[in-house]
Amino acid sequence: MARIAGDEEETTVSDGGKPMRLWGGRFESGPADALARLSVSVHFDWRLVPYDLMASRAHARVLNRAGLLTDEELERMIGALDDLETACKTGEFRPTVADEDVHTALERGLLERLGSLGGKLRAGRSRNDQIATDLRLYLRDNVRAIISRLVEVETALMAQAATHADTAAPGMTHLQHAQPVSFGHQLLAHVHAFARDIDRLIDWDKRAAVSPLGSGALAGSSLPLDPVVVAEELGFTSAAPNSMDAVADRDFAAEFLFDAAMIGIHLSRLGEEIVLWASQEFRWIEMDDAYSTGSSIMPQKKNPDVAELARGKSGRLIGNLMSMLTVLKGLPLTYNRDLQEDKEPVFDTVDTLLLVLPAVAGLVSTMRVNTARMSATASDGFALATDLAELLVRKGVAFRDAHEAVGHLVVYCQVNDVDLGEVSDEDLAKVSPHLTPDVRDVLNVPGALAARKAHGGTAPDRVRDQLAALREAVDAQAAWASGS
């Protein structure tokens, strides 16, 4: 028995038998071993089996409508394809070391079941339009699964945000205390980013929903086939209008990888914040034991591995995008064997997202927030200075002058080791005549939060408005992913 290393597991295959190729008629001898090893892709494209068989059924039906398969032959063909799919699922049928790719292996399985009748299915199609179709079907299916997992992350963040709409936290720029914010507001910032990711994927699907099947190798077919009917049967919205573009196009794969890389960026940013929040310096959250690990030498440690891995996996997603773009750069029309390299980056990206997203959702949903710690540090670093400057503006002071006056007050506080609200009336007046005793009215965190009540602001009421709108949007995204 030989073994082929697959993307997810090693696949056991059988040795022996004459190598089966879909292109050997013109050649007097077989390929060199080095070429055969370089060319083989069945160890990673085997996951396309259900999509290749789905397209084969549609192709069989269009051959029947064209009079190239009798009704009896079609019935036998569909039965054999169904049986082959079952055998693939159970592991009864597996690729051999002699199979070049998923298409070769499945044709071998069909010939084993139908004899020469199985060879009729190849009429009017090529591996070039087959693989372009299979990859689109695979991605359109898996994008829905990815969106469903993203919705779980969004839902976990929104649940925490609903609990902490009124929880004050230090808002930061440059990782320095800036202004108090609602912690719920900060959590929802991540939801908005993931919501854009989902919107991009839904929009991507409109461009991916074009069927290449019927384009043949590059020029279409002289047989009386109907690519539009095939497209409809496979759930595409249209058939490709240009056969050369159809077999050469991998925009849909590159665009998916870009969308996935952006998801990775947003996961990385959330992961980085969780790492900070869980640190001894912040102590904003405590992670659940189920989503943490310990140290092999330091018994007190609780490490944010899920957040760190989410941050680290973004490198794979970005790298897969770069790999695809580099493969596509400068390729002449139409199909080139370089395009064998289009699948592994796509498969790895799908696997990575479906692995990371459930872990992140679990981490977020189970983390415990230290509201007392957050609230106690929300005004640290003179974070209420902007509220003071804006009070002066409301009293008619030019913002330039208000900014300068409050800046002088901050310097006074630093020199004298006091907070803004601890400065005496006399010393306020010495710093600036604009700083009258009533400025203390705005030097409280709840008031600072409530005051930022404009659309998009951090006021708890606005946070609850965001939540209501996001719940509606996320429900719509979940419905799209489920097809309902």
Q: What is the pLDDT of residues 33-77, one digit of tens each?
A: 888 888 899 999 999 999 999 999 999 999 999 999 999 999 999
**Quick one: 29-123 is in which CATH superfamily?**
Fumarase/aspartase (N-terminal domain) (1.10.275.10)
> In this predicted structure, what is the pLDDT of residue 7?
37
438/391 Cα distance (integer angstroms): 10
Query: Cβ distance 302 to 292 under 8 Å?
Result: yes
Residues 389, 391, 396, 399, Cα dihedral to 10°: 20
Give the type of residue at 470: L
157/139 Cα distance (integer angstroms): 26
Could you report the per-residue pLDDT of 434-478, keeping only the tens digit for each?
999 999 999 999 999 999 999 999 999 999 999 999 999 999 999
Annotated active-site residue in 174, 296, 455, 484 = 174
> In this predicted structure, what is the pLDDT of residue 36?
81
459/471 Cα distance (integer angstroms): 18
DSSP codes of every residue in 355-389? HHHHHHHHHHHHPEE-HHHHHHHTTTTTTTHHHHH
Query: Cβ distance 129 to 247 under 8 Å?
Result: yes
> In this predicted structure, what is the pLDDT of residue 19?
60
> In this predicted structure, what is the pLDDT of residue 98?
87
> In this predicted structure, what is the pLDDT of residue 18?
55
> In this predicted structure, what is the pLDDT of residue 105?
97
Establish whether 408 is a catalytic residue: no
Mean pLDDT, the chain, whole residue set: 93
Taking the alpha carbons of 430, 435, 438, 440 in that order, is the dihedral positive or negative?
Answer: negative
Q: What is the pTM of this model?
A: 0.92
Query: Cβ distance 133 to 438 under 8 Å?
Result: no
Choose among 184, 187, 181: nearest CA to 169.
181
User: Domain-by-domain residue ranges, the chain?
Assistant: 29-123, 142-205+235-376, 385-443
> In this predicted structure, what is the pLDDT of residue 34?
85
Neighbours of 130 (CB within 10 A): 26
Alpha carbons within 13 angstroms on the beta-carbon side of residue 452 total 20
Percent of the chain whose predicted confidence (pLDDT) is above 90: 90
310/267 Cα distance (integer angstroms): 6
Establish whether 455 is a catalytic residue: no
Residues 6 or more apart in contact with residue 78 via CB below 8 angstroms = 57, 60, 61
397/393 Cα distance (integer angstroms): 5
Choose among 264, 5, 228, 247: nearest CA to 135.
247
Annotated active-site residue in 238, 295, 424, 482 = 295
Query: Cβ distance 446 to 168 under 8 Å?
Result: yes
Query: Percent helix, strand and coil across the chain, each rounded to 5?
Result: 65, 5, 30
> In this predicted structure, what is the pLDDT of residue 20?
63
> In this predicted structure, what is the pLDDT of residue 3?
31
269/255 Cα distance (integer angstroms): 21
CATH of 142-205+235-376, one of 1.20.200.10, 3.20.20.70, 3.90.110.10, 3.40.1360.10: 1.20.200.10
79/68 Cα distance (integer angstroms): 17
User: Maximum distance among all alpha carbons in the chain?
Assistant: 102
Q: Residue 75 is inside which H or E element, if any?
A: helix 71-90
User: Do 142-205+235-376 and 385-443 fold alike per CATH?
Assistant: no
Neighbours of 293 (CB within 10 A): 14
Choose among 331, 127, 348, 345: nearest CA to 253.
345
Residues of the chain with pLDDT below 50 are 1-17
CATH of 385-443, one of 1.10.40.30, 3.90.950.10, 3.40.50.970, 2.30.42.10: 1.10.40.30
